[in-house]
Structure 1
Amino acid sequence: MKPTTNVHGTGLLLGSAGVLLRGPSGAGKSVLALSLLDRWEARGWPALLIADDRVDILETAGGLAMQAPDQLTGLIELRGRGIISRPHVATAPLHLIVDMVPDMIRMLEEDELRTELAGVTLARAPVPFGSVISVHHQLLLVAQAIAELGTN
C-alpha cells in the first residue's frame, strides 16, 4: 500500500470503526481522541490509536485505510503533560471522518454527513471544538456517528 496523502489529524480504531479526527491545531483533536479511547476501553471494547498529528491515507481494494508514520505510531500529545503512549495499531480501515468545527449547528442537512477524501465518499461527523461544547457532548456525537455506520 502506498500513501495517497498525509493529513493533519488523529487516527483511531474504535471497535471495528476506523475514525479520523481532523481540524486545526488547538481544536481539541487529541483530547477528544484520548476521551474516545478511554470510553471504549472502559466498556471493554477495542480501542487503539493509530497516530496523532499526522496520518497517512492509503488506497486499498476496499476503500481507504489509515497508517501511522513510523515516528508517530502509538504516540499522542496530552497538552500540559507532553507526548504519551497508548495501545496502538499501525494500520486500520477508514470509515468515518470527524471534522472539528467552530460552530454548533442544531440540525444538520443530510449532505453535511458525507465527505470525500482521495476520491472516496465517507461518513462525516461535524463536531464542535471543545471550547464550544463539552467533551461529553462531543463523545455523544461521535458515538452516534459510529453507531450509524453499522460496523460495531
Structure 2
Amino acid sequence: MTNATGIGDPLKMHATAVSIAGAGLMLCGKSGSGKSDLALRLIDRGAALISDDYVDIRRTGDRLFLSPPSRLAGKLEVRSLGIFDQDHVSDIALKLIVKLDDNPDRFPMDKQTMILLGITIPFCTLNAMENSASIKAELALQRIVQEAGKI
C-alpha cells in the first residue's frame, strides 16, 4: 500500500485508464460493464491508453498517478477479437474517475467525489453502452480540468 509520501507499492485497481490531453481518466465498473469498449472508443477519438483491466495508482504529494502493471503494458482487450497491442503512456495524473453503471442518475444533485489514497478525486457515473458515452466522458474531464484551472 502507498503512504502519503508516495513511498511503497502502488495500489492496484480493477479498472481501465486513458489519458486525454495529458489528463488521466479512470474507468471503473464490474466485469462486462464496458470499460475496455469505452476506452477503445476514447482511443479512437484521440486518447492514449494507460492500462486495460488493472491500473497501478501511486500517490506523490497531493496527486495520484496512473500506470499499467508491467504484464499489461500496451495490451487492450477488444471483446470478441482478443488482445491487441496498443501504444500506451505511464505516470499520468488522475483527474477524473468514471463509474460505469447501466442506469446512472439523469441529474446528479451533488458534486460527486471519492477519496482514493487520501486524495479527493471527482467522479461521474455513465452508461458505457450509450453511443455518446465517449463524448460525455470527454466533456466531464474537460469541465474538471477547467474548474481546476480557476482555483
Partner SS, residue 71 of structure 1: helix
Q: Does the 8 Å CA contact 2:62/2:119 hold for their aligned counterparts?
A: no
Post-superposition Cα deviations, 1:63-102, rounded to whole Å, max 9, x if no partner, equal 1011111010111100111001221113211111011113
Q: Percent identity?
A: 32
Alpha-carbon RMSD across the aligned residues, in angstroms, is 1.7
Q: Which residue of 2 aligns with 1:115?
A: 114
Q: Is the 8 A contact 1:104 1:128 kept in 2?
A: yes
Contact 1:4–1:118 (8 Å) recurs in 2: no
* Range moving further from structure 2, 57-66 or 102-111: 102-111
State whether residues 11 and 19 of structure 1, in contact with CA within 8 Å, keep that contact through their aligned partners in structure 2.
Answer: yes
Give the Å deviation of 1:55. 0.6
C-alpha displacement of 1:23? 0.4
Residue 82 (1) aligns with residue 82 (2)? yes
Residue aligning to 2:142: 147
Residue 26 (structure 1) aligns with: 32
CA distance in 1 between partners of 2:106 and 2:91 (Å) = 34
Q: How far does residue 139 in structure 1 lie from its aligned partner after superposition?
A: 1.6
Q: Tell me, which stretches of 5 or more residues in structure 1 are unaligned?
A: 41-46
Equivalent of residue 138 in structure 1, options 123, 133, 136: 133
Contact 1:9 1:20 in 2 (8 A): yes
Q: Distance in 1 between the 2:36 and 2:125 partners? A: 16
Contact 2:18 2:25 in 1 (8 A): yes
Change (3 A) 1:98 1:3: farther
Structure 2-normalised TM-score? Answer: 0.86
Segments ≥4 residues shifted beyond 2 Å: 1-4
**Aligned 8 A contact 1:103 1:129 in 2:** no
The amino acid across from 1:55 in the alignment is V
Q: What is the Cα deviation at residue 129 of structure 1? A: 4.1
- Residues 35 and 129 (structure 1), Cα distance of their counterparts in 2 relative to 1, 3 Å cut: closer
In structure 1, how many angstroms separate the alpha carbons of the residues matched to 2:134 and 2:61? Answer: 31
SS in 1 for 2:132: helix
C-alpha contact 2:95 2:145 (8 A) present in aligned 1 = no
Q: Does the residue aligned with 2:45 lie in a helix, a strand or coil?
A: helix
Between the aligned partners of 1:68 and 1:78, the Cα distance in structure 2 is 17
